[in-house]
Chain A
């Protein structure tokens, strides 16, 4: 059974700082997705990572995938308050079904 874990679960950081969120999964998969969820809102797609070594960047966020280590990272550079949200990774189980990570609630302090 595919399990997806994220850490940290909660992250409070100062504006301007860098930090990394980790997503580990338990079985082989070569498709991993990152989503953002604002309070009371639905999910917004951030990144789609489809192969080992894939790296995607958008603004202050950069995501990478290491399928051999079964690890994805979401790196935040010079955080700003607008990045405050909950971030989820999701892994394709191989049958077009997502298994979501536990989520990381990020709060960026001014």
Chain B
């Protein structure tokens, strides 16, 4: 299955600032997914990032707040903009493992704390 390197693993940020999270995959993948996991909660899909096109955002998430880049088939970034304490969460990227029948592989996650 794919191996994902996600950075940073954690960060503490001041409100009003922005943080960019990176995910590097060891193989080419068409779709990458970004999730948010708020403290003690389940995972919520933020957006789907396809190479060469605009990301598709889920209800409740907007591009101005969570801009995504997907410059090639192995890399993507998610920026959390103008942060507030409510943005404190774990953010994870995910890619299909050898096709959808094998489930998905997740990055190690970025634990973000906004103070």
Contact = CB atoms under 8 A, between A and B. Distances in A.
B42 A43 contact: no
Contact of B103 (A45, A99, A102, A103): A45
A48 B43 contact: no
Interface string A30-51: 0101000000111101001010
B111 A40 contact: yes
Given A42-B92, A43-B92, A48 B42 contact: no
Interface residues of B, number: 24
B102 A48 contact: yes
Contacts, number: 48
Contacts of A103: 41-42
Contacts of B31: 96
A25 interface: no
Interface residues of A, number: 20
A22 interface: no
A100 B42 contact: yes
B69 interface: no
A96 B33 CA distance: 10
20 contacts: A31-B101, A33-B103, A42-B92, A42-B107, A43-B43, A43-B92, A45-B97, A45-B103, A45-B104, A45-B105, A48-B101, A48-B102, A96-B48, A96-B100, A97-B33, A98-B33, A98-B43, A99-B45, A101-B42, A103-B41
Interface of B: 1, 31, 33, 41-45, 48, 92, 94, 96-97, 100-109, 111
